[in-house]
Structure formats: structure tokens, C-alpha cells
Structure 1
Amino acid sequence: MKELKIPFSRYESSVSAHSNVSDSLDGEDVSQVQELEEEFCAYVGAKYSLATSHGTSALHLAMLALELKRGDKVVCSVNAHPNVPEVVRHFDAEPVFIDIVDGSYNIDLDKLEAYLEDNKSKKLKAVIITHLGGTTVDLDRVYSMASIYGVKIVEDASEALGATYKDKKIGSTGADLVCFNFSPHLKKNICNGGMLVSNDEEIMQRAKLLSNHAMVRDEDALEYIYDVTDIGNDYTLSELNAAYIRAQVKEQDKSIKKLQEIAKLYSKAFEGVVHITIPDMSNEEHPFLLYIIKIDKNRDSFAVALREEGIGSGLHYMPLHLLTYYKTKYSLRVNDFPVALRSFQQVLSLPIYASMSDEDIKTVIAKVKKIAKTRV
């Protein structure tokens, strides 16, 4: 496969990132992980944060912290990355899929509420809300449902770093736990890392205990003496990854402003172009961490044509009920989630990242328009 002139994503670097990494390599007496956790709390407005080795680690640790058990149920959008139901299945618990809203590609809250009303049970443990590309659902309504039906809310903010809801950063709006991923699906970073945040001290104390094999030490004892009080795992983030990510977080708001500018240019250029539907531009809080269009004819051939022109693209996501494991495990049919199915057949994510040059943007626009003219 030939190298793309404009890939779907590029990792972002900076002077700050190089400086932080150099400090770690030089053995500077600074805990990059601790600094990252403190800075992240300040950035999103949460009381507690815990850095993890990856976004999936943060999700898995969230399930551990909530004491998920065999037979428990966790509700999630059918349009999510496979790591969402995957972490649930690792506990031999059951993911429950809900269809999406056309246009936002997020979970349909009417269908979610109907499910919660019809399936009241102690086994119903939590709802995972995925913020696709940083777009949010009506979170006040979600938190109200949680209170009424006695479920925990875990937010999957893998694609929502820096996103806001009613001017509050995701991570501080009222969820029990929020999970971030600094190297999300199809937007791989040069490093991996995740973050778990909460305002619930008890949940976070449990998460912190379990994040390093549930090992505890007596401060007055020798350093190598420890006890193990539960079953945990190693979810810890390396100092080098933390050093790089600190700069990423520091620059995220600036990056989002750039993404919003690119999204406006895209939408202005694509408005009225035959076969293409642009995203809703009315939400001023939309961070456009993804720019998703709809192709009404032959989406896959459109993506192939883009690739042949040197332009990368992405898909967010393959609906979970179409994947062999979940389709077989839960006897799911193709038409069980019609909105997600229809969206899946049309959606395409275009390159959008802060380091795109004006020429890159113009090229993407020109190539998309060129290919759209060939659709019949």
C-alpha cells in the first residue's frame, strides 16, 4: 500500500513534549505521572485522577472499581469501540446494546430509558456513555436516569479529551467514572496512556489499590515488604509516556480551536455537494475531534478512491452487533439496530488534526469534491 500524502491522523509533538521527555531520560527528580494526574484534575475539573497504561486499561479498571461480577449487566451504545463490551465480558458480565440517534451517532436516550424502565434488576450495574468525537448526549438526563434506576454512569471519553457539556469539561459533569484514552482508535499517538477520573473518593481509592496488583506497603517497613489485599493487575503508566502526554493535555484546548476552524472550512466547502451530508454545525461546543460525513452511495468505494488519491479516512464504528463474537454470543440479527446499521453503511471520518496545513485542508476538500462528482 502506497504511503498516504494526508493520513487519517498524525501524532502531534511539541517543544514541551521533548522537554518533559528529556527531563525523564535525564533522571530529573520529577514524577511525570504524578504531575500529569494533578494537571489533569485541574484541566477537567475533577477531584481525583489516576493515570493508566492505556484507555482500555482505564475502562477495565473502572469495571474493577465498580466491583463488576459474573452475570451483572452493563448497558452501552451499539456504536462503540470493541473495548467497551470487551472489558465487561472479561468479568463474565453481560453487555447490553442500545441503538443510536441518527446524526450524532451516540446512544439513543429514549431507548436507553425504555430499557432501564423495563429491566429493573440488581444485576443491572452500570451504563457506559460513549462521547463519539466529543459530541455529548443530554448528560443531565443521563444522571437523572442513574438516580432513578440505581445504576452507575461510566463515560467513555476516548474521543472526547477537552470536550465540554454546558461549558463544563467532560470529566467534571457528574459521572461516577470517566475514562480517557490518549491514543484512541485510528488516531494512534506515539505513546499510549489513559486516565480514570472521578469525584467519588471511595471508588478512586479502590481503583488506585487495584491498579498495581492490590499491593500495600507499611510506610515504616522496608521498601521491599508488601502485602496483597485483593485481585488487581498492572495498569500503571510509564514516566516517559506521562511526560509526553502532559504536553498533549496542556495544548489540547488550542488544538480543539484549530479543529473547529478546520471543521467550518470543511462544512462550508461540502455544503450542497451531491452525495455528501455534513455534520450538524449548530452546536458551538462540538470540538470536532472527529469530522464525520455521510456518503449516500458506495461509502467503501469512496474511501478506496480517497486512498488512491493519497487521503486517509476512518470509520467510527463497526456496530458491535455485526462483529462475529457478539453476533454469535447473543444471537443478534443484522436488523436489530436499524439506525446504527444505516449509519454504518454511510459514515466516513475525514482527516482532521491540529497540524494540518492550509494546503492539506484544501487538498482534502478538492479530492472529496472530485470523487463525489463520480458517484452515480
Structure 2
Amino acid sequence: MKVEFCKYESSRDAHSNVSDVLDGENSDQVKELEKEFISYIGSKYALATSHGTSALHLAMLALDLKRGDKVVCSVNAHPKVPEVVRHFDAEPVFIDIDSQTYNINLDKLETYLEDNKAKKLKAVIVTHVAGQCVDLSRLYNMAKIYDVKIVEDASEALGATYQGKKIGSTGADITCFNFSSHLKKDVCNGGMLVSNSEEIIERAKLLNSHGMTRDKDSLDYVYDVIDIGFDYSMSQLDAAYIRAKIKEQDKNLKRVKEIAEMYNKALDGVAHIAIPRPNSDEHPYSLYIIKVDKNRDSFALELKKHGIEVGLHYIPLHFLSYYKNKYALKVNNFPVALTTYQQVMSLPIYSSMQDKEVQFVIDKIKLVASTRV
């Protein structure tokens, strides 16, 4: 048997929506998706983009990020996070992580903000690793005290909740979603920028299409350009497919949580393995991350020999050549991220996994763990 890390999941609704586009139906799938996403998340505004990275880059444009500005982020994030900052010749600032959730450590973040009040701080980008959130109430309060914007990278948090509200409606200035996230590639690409600020969303809409404006009373082909933007637009085909994905997300998350409980019960107490310890009952388990106390890579290779694919979330940013060399970073600068990186791996978890596949993964993990000394 082979168990893939992720499988793309289609549906009858997805096929129907895509067929409507190919058949020339007049409905605007992108506009429909934005409306449905607002209803699903509970936000005031949503803007579809070509990819999750596009949404994050557009967020930086909407916040008017400039050369020399500083944006704080976790050292345990996808490379796109500091990448979009560097595209503005602005500076990413890395913060170490919490040892249990792998998210940004709020104590260390607060210390940095307190010590750097007048250092051109623009924003904090918070990544919800595995869909699990930091203490957002505390984060938003810190943002008010230190006058920084909060941008949430919700690539793994579609449908996740905090105190009963879906991520994207809890109070961030901007939340960015990715419908084909790291190691979970789908047949479509797409992202979504969500905000409750009319000012932010209007600027994002302007810059989403080359900074072009049109007079609604004039001819359609007459336009002006009033700012420097780019083309971040989502295709109709992608929107059609993603509409079905949103419709099924809560049902899929319910199944994912069932699989996580199977893992929890079977792997708790297994020698050399530590299962996730959620900071609340709202963990969506978009990723199921375990710790292996020694020889993580050899453990992963043994699982691969048995037909099981695993993932890594993430290689710490200060390990990557560009950031390591650009900012003269040392591996010991972020000790928690360093230790975590050496131990963690993400197991296959997705709604179409069958119980027998889950059990196969469990059996092989126990088998490989029993050979550790």
C-alpha cells in the first residue's frame, strides 16, 4: 500500500461549476466565490487572487509597505512570508516559536515590539501552523499598543476557528488564504485576501489590476492608471473549482478531525513519538505534526520505504541560504525553532483518507518507532 501525503479531491459540484465556465455561462465565478467566501468566513470584504502568495504580496501593497520598513514574522514560516517583504526592499524580522504549537512566540514578539517602538515597524505577519491559532486577543491588543498592522497567513487555516469565529473574521487587518498550500498542491491555484477595512480592500482592488480605473459612464475600453499595481486576478476556472471546495470545507474538516483522533489514540504513548498538544479544542488539524525524539530524517526515510509520504512544516527561515547570508544569521539564533526542526514531521491527513490507510500509517509508525534505540 502507498499513502500519499495529500490527494486532490474533486466533487460533482466542482465538475458542474467548471462545465458552466467551459460552456460559456454568463455567471461570474470569481464574484460568486468572493460573495460566498464572505458568507462562509463572516468578514465584510474578500478579494480573490491568483495564488496565496499573490494575496500576501497584495496585502503588503495595500499596507503601503516601503523600503526600509520592518515586518515581523515567525522564523517557522513558508519562504513566501519574508519573500513578499523583501520584494519591497523592506526588512523581515524573525521571532522564535512556541515549542508546542510551532507558532510565533508571543512573549518574544512583545519583547521585540517593546524594544523597537521607533524602528519603522509596519506589520506583523502571523502564520497559523497546522491551522492552530496563537492567542489572537492578546495579539490584537499588542497591535494597538505598538501601532502595527496584523496580517494573518491562513494558508492552513481555512475553516479554522478562534473563540467560535472563523479565521478571517476575528480582528486582523488582513487575512490571506491559499487554496493550494505548501505540499498540498491541488489542480487549481488561488488565494483570497480578506479584510473588514473598506480602505484596505479598496486599495487592494485598485492595485489588483495594474492600478487601473474606469469611468462607469464611459466606454469600457477607456481607462486611466493612478498607481503602480500588478495583475493578481484569479481565473474563472479556478474560481469555479474553489467554490465547490468552500462548500465542502466544513464537512471535510470534520472528517480530518476524526482521522486526527485516530492518530491521537493510537500514537499517544508510543516510544520516541510525541503527538500534537493543541492549545484549545478548536485545532482543525489541517496538518498533523508529530515529533520524533531522534533521527527524524532516518525515521521519515523508513516510512517512505513502507510507502508513506510525510511533510515538513517548515525549514526555519534562518537555515535558508538567502536569509542566512543576507542577515548573518546563525543556527543557534532561534533555539526553539532549531530543536523543533530537527524533530517534527507532518503525517498524511485529508478527508478522503480511508480508515485502513490511517491504520496502515499508524502500524508503520509503531513498527519504525520500535526499532529506535
Q: Provide the TM-score with structure 2 as the length reference.
A: 0.99
> 2:110 maps to what in 1?
113
> 1:51 maps to what in 2?
48
Aligned equivalents of 1:144, 1:22: Cα separation in 2: 47
Correspondent of 2:131 among 116, 129, 134: 134
Deviations 1:177-228 (A, max 9, x none): 0000000000111100000000000010000000010111111222111111
Aligned equivalents of 2:170, 2:75: Cα separation in 1: 23
Superposition pairs for residues 34-49 of structure 1, below 5 Å? 34-49=31-46
Superposition pairs for residues 12-23 of structure 1, below 5 Å? 12-23=9-20
2:283 maps to 1:297: no
2:327 maps to 1:330: yes
SS at 1:251's partner residue?
helix
Q: Bigger shift: 114-123 or 199-208?
A: 114-123
Match for 1:273: what amino acid? Answer: V
Aligned equivalents of 1:223, 1:155: Cα separation in 2: 36
> 1:245 maps to what in 2?
242
Superposition pairs for residues 54-73 of structure 1, below 5 Å? 54-73=51-70
> 2:153 maps to what in 1?
156
Flag the 1:180–1:282 CA change in 2: closer, same or farther, 3 A. Answer: closer
Aligned equivalents of 2:118, 2:181: Cα separation in 1: 33
- Please report how far the alpha carbon of residue 59 of structure 1 lies from its aligned counterpart in structure 2 after TM superposition: 0.2
Correspondent of 1:197 among 188, 194, 197: 194
Aligned equivalents of 2:3, 2:119: Cα separation in 1: 50
- Please report how far the alpha carbon of residue 54 of structure 1 lies from its aligned counterpart in structure 2 after TM superposition: 0.2
Aligned equivalents of 1:77, 1:49: Cα separation in 2: 25
Aligned equivalents of 1:122, 1:28: Cα separation in 2: 52
2:83 maps to 1:86: yes
- Please report how far the alpha carbon of residue 282 of structure 1 lies from its aligned counterpart in structure 2 after TM superposition: 6.5
Aligned equivalents of 2:79, 2:342: Cα separation in 1: 18
Correspondent of 1:30 among 27, 30, 33: 27
Does the aligned pair in 1 maintain the 2:101–2:279 contact within 8 Å? no
Superposition pairs for residues 344-355 of structure 1, below 5 Å? 344-355=341-352
Long gaps (5+) in structure 1: none
Long gaps (5+) in structure 2: none
Match for 2:139: what amino acid? Answer: V
- Please report how far the alpha carbon of residue 297 of structure 1 lies from its aligned counterpart in structure 2 after TM superposition: 1.0
- Please report how far the alpha carbon of residue 283 of structure 1 lies from its aligned counterpart in structure 2 after TM superposition: 2.5
Q: Bigger shift: 114-123 or 293-302?
A: 114-123
2:162 maps to 1:165: yes
Aligned equivalents of 2:248, 2:215: Cα separation in 1: 39
Aligned equivalents of 1:287, 1:182: Cα separation in 2: 16
Flag the 1:282–1:49 CA change in 2: closer, same or farther, 3 A. Answer: closer
> 2:367 maps to what in 1?
370
SS at 2:46's partner residue?
strand
Aligned equivalents of 1:289, 1:58: Cα separation in 2: 20
Deviations 1:260-288 (A, max 9, x none): 11001001101111110001156321100
Q: Provide the TM-score with structure 1 as the length reference.
A: 0.98
Match for 2:357: what amino acid? Answer: D
Deviations 1:307-363 (A, max 9, x none): 111110000000001100000000101000000000000000000000001111111
Deviations 1:117-170 (A, max 9, x none): 000026100000110011000000010011000000000001100000001000
2:246 maps to 1:226: no
Match for 1:154: what amino acid? Answer: V
Does the aligned pair in 1 maintain the 2:70–2:119 contact within 8 Å? no
Correspondent of 2:180 among 183, 186, 197: 183
2:37 maps to 1:76: no
Aligned equivalents of 1:222, 1:130: Cα separation in 2: 43
Does the aligned pair in 1 maintain the 2:257–2:285 contact within 8 Å? yes
Aligned equivalents of 2:214, 2:118: Cα separation in 1: 39
Once superposed, which parts of structure 1, at least 4 consecutive aligned residues long, lie more than 4 Å away? none
Match for 2:101: what amino acid? Answer: S
Correspondent of 1:359 among 336, 356, 360: 356
Does the aligned pair in 1 maintain the 2:37–2:46 contact within 8 Å? yes
Q: Bigger shift: 75-84 or 364-373?
A: 364-373
Match for 2:170: what amino acid? Answer: T
Aligned equivalents of 1:345, 1:127: Cα separation in 2: 26
Flag the 1:278–1:354 CA change in 2: closer, same or farther, 3 A. Answer: same
SS at 2:194's partner residue?
strand
> 1:272 maps to what in 2?
269
SS at 1:189's partner residue?
coil
SS at 2:340's partner residue?
helix
Aligned equivalents of 2:279, 2:85: Cα separation in 1: 35
